[in-house]
Structure 1
């Protein structure tokens, strides 16, 4: 049974990489747009640059750990403590295998909804148009929500301390990044973004419920 979960994790990671590659190549080769703005931008504060670079580093570590675990490679990047299992519960693993595809679907949907405005990082110099349709009509941050779902799913499948810590760290950095992006979007789009903020929640909007958060 364990090998099935390993194969699934490799497949999920491959799908994620393919989705990103397709979007990057489309923007670079067809639209002639460089989507990579991590740590770049004349008006970015040093703290923002550090957070963006830190986030990309954590994602790289997370991806490496998924591959090492799934391929059963005898390498430990961190001390042994981080590889201790917190629990061993089959329903948790099954839940993880369900959450990750949901995250991947949301990630792909958000990529399509983004169109040419997709960037890796905050683009203060060329923000593009504000996207409010598609996946962005249910969440102001569908890509970040997708990553959160993927991280939770990965922890539930592997059940180890390292994936718990990485998942929590990703969640914290994402929330901090969202707060920074909201400040940027308010300056860039003004009332248009404020109206959008009133109608769509930060993470997930349930239609018919009143809006009372930011």
Structure 2
């Protein structure tokens, strides 16, 4: 069985929710405190020298990291969780999935720990990252055309990202006001019965 090392509500939530949707069994190990020196950090770094969550230990003992790589692994088993191969939607699915990971995700790394990157201007870096993140979400809103999910009637792994990331900054109220399509997709995912428990365990459900 896959082991997911993570913290409730953190980036590991993406892996948990995607695995749950794909009906792939896993067990969760809470490594809260991994971002500070101590036993949790030491344990995690033995598996993943970067000390990041999510870190997945697969059935064969190998390590998988990076949420986009986890999504690719899941799609090998559940190709139905992305638009069909050969369709324009499939191309946009890959584009937006990679875009979220490459552009939005790093703003949390820098804004959550600004002192690591700009000790003399930590507050300014944090504020700039938060403002930039909002501009990215506004662009994404302009790309969302379908309902109830990002590509219409079929739930995909991109919708999982949207649902989970809405629970992070700038939080629900901002998304509802400024990105209503993004917020509506997240609401639709939150209503999926199979995801109720994992979303509740990660403080996603409101």
Q: TM-score, normalised by structure 2?
A: 0.32
Higher strand share: 2
In terms of Rg, which structure is larger? 1
Higher helix share: 1
Q: TM-score, normalised by structure 1?
A: 0.31
